[in-house]
Amino acid sequence: MHTVVCRILLGGAISVCSLAAQAYEQVDNAFFGIEVGQMELDPDDGENFEFPAGTGRVGYHFTDWLGVEGRAGFTGEDGVGDVDVRIPYFVSALARVGWLPADRGFGVYGLAGVTQAKFEASTDFFGIEVGNDETDDGFSFGGGVELYFDERNGLNVEYMRYLDGELDGVDYELNHIGVGYVRRF
Protein backbone atom coordinates (compact mmCIF):
# COMPACT_ATOMS: atom_id res chain seq x y z
CA MET A 1 0.00 0.00 0.00
CA HIS A 2 2.81 2.42 0.89
CA THR A 3 4.52 1.86 -2.47
CA VAL A 4 1.30 2.60 -4.37
CA VAL A 5 0.68 5.80 -2.38
CA CYS A 6 4.30 6.92 -2.85
CA ARG A 7 3.96 6.42 -6.61
CA ILE A 8 0.68 8.37 -6.63
CA LEU A 9 2.24 11.20 -4.60
CA LEU A 10 5.34 11.29 -6.78
CA GLY A 11 3.25 11.25 -9.96
CA GLY A 12 1.03 14.00 -8.57
CA ALA A 13 4.02 16.15 -7.63
CA ILE A 14 5.58 15.70 -11.08
CA SER A 15 2.26 16.55 -12.73
CA VAL A 16 1.84 19.70 -10.62
CA CYS A 17 5.39 20.86 -11.44
CA SER A 18 4.86 20.13 -15.14
CA LEU A 19 1.57 22.01 -15.18
CA ALA A 20 3.12 24.94 -13.31
CA ALA A 21 5.91 25.12 -15.89
CA GLN A 22 3.41 25.03 -18.78
CA ALA A 23 1.34 27.74 -17.08
CA TYR A 24 4.24 30.15 -16.63
CA GLU A 25 2.79 32.54 -19.21
CA GLN A 26 -0.82 31.99 -18.12
CA VAL A 27 -1.18 34.48 -15.29
CA ASP A 28 -3.23 33.40 -12.27
CA ASN A 29 -3.46 29.68 -13.14
CA ALA A 30 -0.48 28.47 -11.11
CA PHE A 31 0.11 29.26 -7.45
CA PHE A 32 2.34 28.54 -4.50
CA GLY A 33 1.94 29.21 -0.84
CA ILE A 34 3.18 28.67 2.67
CA GLU A 35 1.02 27.89 5.64
CA VAL A 36 1.49 27.79 9.40
CA GLY A 37 -0.93 26.32 11.86
CA GLN A 38 -1.65 23.69 14.43
CA MET A 39 -1.65 19.97 13.72
CA GLU A 40 -3.54 17.71 16.10
CA LEU A 41 -2.92 13.97 16.44
CA ASP A 42 -5.99 12.51 18.12
CA PRO A 43 -5.54 8.83 19.10
CA ASP A 44 -8.69 7.04 20.28
CA ASP A 45 -6.95 5.56 23.32
CA GLY A 46 -5.20 8.57 24.81
CA GLU A 47 -4.58 12.29 25.02
CA ASN A 48 -4.19 14.49 21.97
CA PHE A 49 -0.84 15.74 20.72
CA GLU A 50 -0.80 19.31 19.36
CA PHE A 51 2.08 20.52 17.20
CA PRO A 52 3.02 23.71 15.40
CA ALA A 53 3.13 22.85 11.69
CA GLY A 54 4.58 24.36 8.52
CA THR A 55 3.39 23.51 5.00
CA GLY A 56 4.51 24.41 1.50
CA ARG A 57 1.95 24.29 -1.34
CA VAL A 58 2.10 24.41 -5.13
CA GLY A 59 -0.81 24.03 -7.51
CA TYR A 60 -2.50 24.77 -10.78
CA HIS A 61 -6.06 25.83 -11.68
CA PHE A 62 -7.38 24.24 -14.89
CA THR A 63 -10.51 26.38 -14.60
CA ASP A 64 -11.91 28.79 -12.00
CA TRP A 65 -13.37 25.80 -10.15
CA LEU A 66 -11.03 22.82 -10.78
CA GLY A 67 -7.34 22.34 -10.00
CA VAL A 68 -4.61 20.22 -8.41
CA GLU A 69 -2.34 20.88 -5.47
CA GLY A 70 0.79 19.27 -4.00
CA ARG A 71 1.91 19.81 -0.41
CA ALA A 72 4.81 18.99 1.87
CA GLY A 73 5.17 19.86 5.52
CA PHE A 74 6.47 19.02 8.97
CA THR A 75 5.60 19.60 12.62
CA GLY A 76 7.30 20.48 15.84
CA GLU A 77 7.26 18.12 18.83
CA ASP A 78 4.71 17.63 21.59
CA GLY A 79 4.85 15.51 24.70
CA VAL A 80 2.11 13.87 26.71
CA GLY A 81 3.30 12.14 29.86
CA ASP A 82 6.67 10.58 29.09
CA VAL A 83 6.00 10.23 25.32
CA ASP A 84 7.23 12.80 22.78
CA VAL A 85 5.83 12.73 19.24
CA ARG A 86 6.61 14.67 16.07
CA ILE A 87 5.88 14.36 12.35
CA PRO A 88 9.13 14.96 10.44
CA TYR A 89 7.27 15.03 7.11
CA PHE A 90 3.91 14.71 5.43
CA VAL A 91 3.22 14.96 1.69
CA SER A 92 -0.11 15.25 -0.12
CA ALA A 93 -1.46 15.11 -3.67
CA LEU A 94 -4.88 16.77 -3.82
CA ALA A 95 -7.66 17.64 -6.23
CA ARG A 96 -8.98 21.14 -5.66
CA VAL A 97 -12.60 22.10 -6.34
CA GLY A 98 -13.76 25.59 -5.57
CA TRP A 99 -15.34 28.81 -6.46
CA LEU A 100 -13.15 31.63 -7.67
CA PRO A 101 -15.18 34.50 -9.11
CA ALA A 102 -14.08 36.32 -12.24
CA ASP A 103 -12.42 39.10 -10.26
CA ARG A 104 -10.72 36.43 -8.12
CA GLY A 105 -10.67 38.57 -5.00
CA PHE A 106 -12.30 35.96 -2.78
CA GLY A 107 -12.71 32.19 -3.11
CA VAL A 108 -13.97 29.13 -1.30
CA TYR A 109 -12.40 25.73 -2.04
CA GLY A 110 -12.49 22.06 -1.10
CA LEU A 111 -9.66 19.55 -1.29
CA ALA A 112 -9.54 15.73 -1.53
CA GLY A 113 -6.67 13.35 -2.19
CA VAL A 114 -4.01 11.25 -0.49
CA THR A 115 -1.40 11.96 2.20
CA GLN A 116 1.59 10.08 3.53
CA ALA A 117 3.08 10.98 6.93
CA LYS A 118 5.95 9.74 9.06
CA PHE A 119 5.39 9.65 12.82
CA GLU A 120 8.25 9.55 15.33
CA ALA A 121 7.61 8.74 18.98
CA SER A 122 10.16 8.52 21.78
CA THR A 123 10.15 7.96 25.51
CA ASP A 124 12.72 7.94 28.29
CA PHE A 125 12.84 4.38 29.65
CA PHE A 126 14.98 4.36 32.81
CA GLY A 127 17.36 6.94 31.35
CA ILE A 128 17.51 5.34 27.90
CA GLU A 129 15.86 7.07 24.95
CA VAL A 130 13.58 4.57 23.18
CA GLY A 131 12.04 5.46 19.82
CA ASN A 132 9.56 4.18 17.29
CA ASP A 133 9.00 5.37 13.72
CA GLU A 134 5.88 4.60 11.69
CA THR A 135 4.69 5.72 8.27
CA ASP A 136 1.03 5.79 7.28
CA ASP A 137 -0.96 6.96 4.28
CA GLY A 138 -4.58 7.44 3.36
CA PHE A 139 -7.41 9.65 2.18
CA SER A 140 -7.35 13.40 2.94
CA PHE A 141 -9.98 16.11 2.69
CA GLY A 142 -10.56 19.70 3.76
CA GLY A 143 -11.58 23.15 2.72
CA GLY A 144 -10.87 26.82 3.13
CA VAL A 145 -11.23 30.37 1.94
CA GLU A 146 -8.83 32.70 0.14
CA LEU A 147 -8.84 36.49 0.19
CA TYR A 148 -6.62 38.35 -2.30
CA PHE A 149 -5.20 41.85 -1.70
CA ASP A 150 -4.30 42.37 -5.35
CA GLU A 151 -4.09 40.27 -8.53
CA ARG A 152 -1.39 37.97 -7.17
CA ASN A 153 -1.11 38.05 -3.35
CA GLY A 154 -3.52 36.74 -0.78
CA LEU A 155 -4.19 34.90 2.46
CA ASN A 156 -5.95 31.61 3.07
CA VAL A 157 -7.53 29.99 6.13
CA GLU A 158 -8.31 26.28 6.05
CA TYR A 159 -9.09 23.05 7.83
CA MET A 160 -7.65 19.69 6.67
CA ARG A 161 -8.09 16.12 7.84
CA TYR A 162 -4.83 14.74 6.54
CA LEU A 163 -5.31 11.18 7.85
CA ASP A 164 -7.87 9.01 9.59
CA GLY A 165 -6.09 5.72 10.15
CA GLU A 166 -4.65 3.09 12.42
CA LEU A 167 -1.12 2.66 13.79
CA ASP A 168 -0.16 -0.34 15.93
CA GLY A 169 -3.82 -1.16 16.58
CA VAL A 170 -4.73 2.40 17.65
CA ASP A 171 -7.21 4.43 15.58
CA TYR A 172 -6.27 8.09 15.13
CA GLU A 173 -7.08 11.28 13.24
CA LEU A 174 -4.55 13.84 12.01
CA ASN A 175 -6.18 17.28 11.64
CA HIS A 176 -4.78 20.71 10.77
CA ILE A 177 -6.05 24.28 11.06
CA GLY A 178 -3.87 26.86 9.37
CA VAL A 179 -3.44 30.28 7.86
CA GLY A 180 -1.14 31.05 4.97
CA TYR A 181 0.15 33.27 2.20
CA VAL A 182 -0.77 32.49 -1.44
CA ARG A 183 0.93 33.88 -4.55
CA ARG A 184 -0.47 33.38 -8.05
CA PHE A 185 1.89 33.47 -11.03
pLDDT at 2: 54
HSE-CB of 15 using CA atoms within 13 angstroms: 18
Among the residues of the chain, which ranges form H helices? 2-22
Dump pLDDT digits (tens) for 5-28. 445 544 554 454 444 444 344 456
Averaged pLDDT score across all residues of the chain: 85
| Residue 116 contacts residue 148 (beta carbons within 8 Å) | no
Q: What CATH number did the domain enclosing 41 receive?
A: 2.40.160.20
Give the model confidence (pLDDT) of 52-66 as tens digits: 999 999 999 898 789
Q: Per residue in 123-157, pLDDT tens?
A: 876 666 667 899 999 999 999 999 989 888 999 99
Confidence of residue 100 (pLDDT cuts 50, 70, 90): low
- Domain ranges, residue 148: 2-184
Of residues 63, 27, 33, 23, the one with CA closest to residue 151: 27
Backbone angles phi, psi at 46, to 5 degrees: -165, -165
Amino acid found at 173: E
pLDDT single digits (tens) 114-123: 999 999 998 8
Question: Which of 70, 29, 33 is closest to 154 using CA atoms?
Answer: 33
pLDDT of residue 28: 65
The type of residue at 165 is G
- Residue 20: name the closest of 12, 157, 106, 109 by CA: 12
* Number of compact structural domains in the chain: 1
CB 100 within 8 A of CB 108: no
